[in-house]
Structure 1
Amino acid sequence: MFYQSDTIIIREFKIEEISLFSELFDSLNVTRYLPYKTPEEYREMFHTALKDYKKGLFSRWGVFNTVNNDFIGMCLARHFADIPSQLEIGYTLSERYWGKGIATEVCSALVHYCFSHTDRKEVVAVTALDNIGSQKVLAKTGFKQKDNLIRDNDELAYFVIQRNTFLAALEQ
């Protein structure tokens, strides 16, 4: 995936950016709503992303500031494990970039990417129940909250956006 605006660039990570990726998850505020992973698991996740670039459409990508190339965070698109006919998006941003509209732009770019490169009818996202900030971002992007999802004994807020809804919003 490659996306660029006046604000952000979303692109493949480079091998030398592993420390940027790993350090993103050092902040307890950033990881508060994420499942626990060890530093080694984050390094493995990074290397898997690099391999995924060669395999197909889906992976994790870096989000960078267009003006100064500062690392903002990461985002992903993948097949949704719970319902294989759906695609899932997600993002994790550095705390200093919260509240600036970047998460909304990242979500919109990811949804556009998913619908432009597949014939899937739905893109989904899940959040921790108390992650109100991300839930607001998803609603602003056009997602609708559905019944909560249970995964690994955790209840998650489950959001869906329909292809036709997203495309209709683009035409306005």
Structure 2
Amino acid sequence: MKEFPIIETKRLRLREVNFEDAKDMLPYLSDQDVVKPMGLDPFETTKDVWEEIRWYKSIYEKGTGIRWGITLKDSGVVIGSCGFLNRVAKHYRAEVGYELSKDYWRKGIVSEALEAVVKYGYNHLQLERVEALIEPSNIPSIKLVEKQGFSREGLLRHYEFACGKFEDLYMYSMIKGDFTAGLREDKNKF
């Protein structure tokens, strides 16, 4: 198995999560506000977090995804995660997902991590399409992906059964050409 890639941004270091990180992850993964948009019930124990970490490791080993722990460069403590799941290499597509401790909301951290992860997907995983599935009530996440250049394609009615009920999800996507066009536009701003 090849070495897990590390991504660095201005403020962040995205790295592989290990079992020792569970103690830092449990506080945010046990927060209803953080996990509900993920379609999960709040985690209750460190063992619950270990199961999540095992899932991260399994999708990486199978090639169906990759999930980075989000850390601030100055602390190294995992405060969230961002990465790909449901990757279908044959069709050059994957879904992106993320979550972040409430202590760090509205500081541009997920935006910074998401941009770096999407860039990694296009440059290293040969993705052509990145998808994001978002509950219609999750306005902050909708604003985030739209600001990043994702386009809303439609509403997937009763797309998943989570937390005891069927959930509608918006389908957002960005194709590689949208991303590279956005990079050119950003360079032209300065």
Q: What TM bracket, shorter-length normalisation?
A: 0.7 to 0.9
- TM-score for the superposition, normalised by structure 1: 0.87
Q: 1:61 to 1:120 in 2, by over 3 A?
A: closer
Shift of 1:76: 2.0
Structure exhibiting the larger radius of gyration computed from Cα positions: 2
1:154 alignment counterpart: 167
Percent identity of the aligned residues? 25
Report how many residues are paired. 170
- TM-score for the superposition, normalised by structure 2: 0.79
1:116 alignment counterpart: 123
User: Which among 32, 48, 51 is matched to residue 44 of structure 1?
Assistant: 51
- Any unmatched runs of 5+ in structure 2? 161-165, 186-190
Asked if structure 2 preserves the Cα contact closer than 8 Å seen for 1:15 and 1:50, the reply is no
Shift of 1:5: 1.9
2:111 alignment counterpart: 104
Shift of 1:13: 0.9
**What is the CA–CA distance in structure 1 between the aligned matches of 2:75 and 2:50, rounded to whole Å?**
25
User: Which among 2, 7, 10 is matched to residue 6 of structure 1?
Assistant: 10
Q: 1:12 to 1:57 in 2, by over 3 A?
A: farther
Asked if structure 2 preserves the Cα contact closer than 8 Å seen for 1:4 and 1:10, the reply is yes
Asked if structure 1 preserves the Cα contact closer than 8 Å seen for 2:111 and 2:144, the reply is yes
1:7-156 to 2 correspondences below 5 Å: 7-37=11-41, 38-39=43-44, 41-56=48-63, 58-79=65-86, 86-150=93-157, 151-152=159-160, 153-156=166-169
**What is the CA–CA distance in structure 2 between the aligned matches of 1:31 and 1:15, rounded to whole Å?**
19
Q: 1:80 to 1:52 in 2, by over 3 A?
A: closer
Shift of 1:131: 0.3
Asked if structure 1 preserves the Cα contact closer than 8 Å seen for 2:129 and 2:174, the reply is yes
- Any unmatched runs of 5+ in structure 1? none
Give 3-state SS (helix, strand or coil) of 1:32's partner. helix
Asked if structure 2 preserves the Cα contact closer than 8 Å seen for 1:22 and 1:43, the reply is no
